[in-house]
Amino acid sequence: MTEADLPFSQACENNKAPILEALKHILPISQADAPALKLLEVGSGTGQHCVHFAKHLPQVLWQPSEQAIYLDSLNLRISRCNDANLKQAIALDLSQTWPSSCCQQQAIFSANTLHIISQTLVERFIKDASHALAASGQFIVYGPFNYAGQFTSPSNQEFDAWLKQRDSLSGIRDIEWLIQLAESHALTLIDDISMPANNRLLHFQKKA
């Protein structure tokens, strides 16, 4: 399989640069001689994000993950990189118990996942992410969110309708509900960052 044959997301290509700039400010990256920061990415998809981020964040040990059926193409993209801080992706299904290797992460990152899964899975995801994080760990999620029950743009409203047509249990989540859910699992919102194309980057931190 050539590079052109690998799964490709134009959205990932468009948003990887602004997300990287935000991560540079959010992640507590230490000096060059300190141990690498352990980060788990949930839902690595095509791998475009993890390949780009690991290359530009050499002091972050990046652990991609994805459902088992997507691992072959994801790991093929990863294997073509020579970055020592980018690990082979592991299988992680949000409806199942997380692998023991996910424990004691210093950061968890996920992009465009909360609106494509059911509310029940969002609840389970937040709970399991909190359990997997070390004390004071960072939980970072990217995607579209509603505020006060309202869409932030007509395009987001159209996107939500498309999501629900595809899967009635999916849809753009209300940020107030998400913050309350996170708080119930010891995750406090630190920042809500505006991103291009009517998206947000939410930065939570686990209580010490």
Q: What is the CATH number of the domain that holds 102?
A: 3.40.50.150
Structural domains counted in the chain: 1
Whether residue 55 contacts residue 81, with contact meaning beta carbons closer than 8 Å, is answered with yes
| pLDDT at site 183 | 98
65 lies in which domain range?
Answer: 3-206
- Average pLDDT, 10 consecutive residues per value, the chain (208 residues): 77 95 90 80 97 95 97 95 94 97 97 98 98 98 98 98 98 98 98 97 97
pLDDT number for residue 30: 66
Helix (H, G, I), strand (E, B) or coil at 85: coil
- Report residue 177 as tokens: 């509900």
Q: What element of type H or E holds 97?
A: none
> pLDDT value at position 179?
98
**Predicted pLDDT at 31:** 60
The whole model's pTM is what?
0.96
CA pair distance 191, 174, nearest whole angstrom: 16
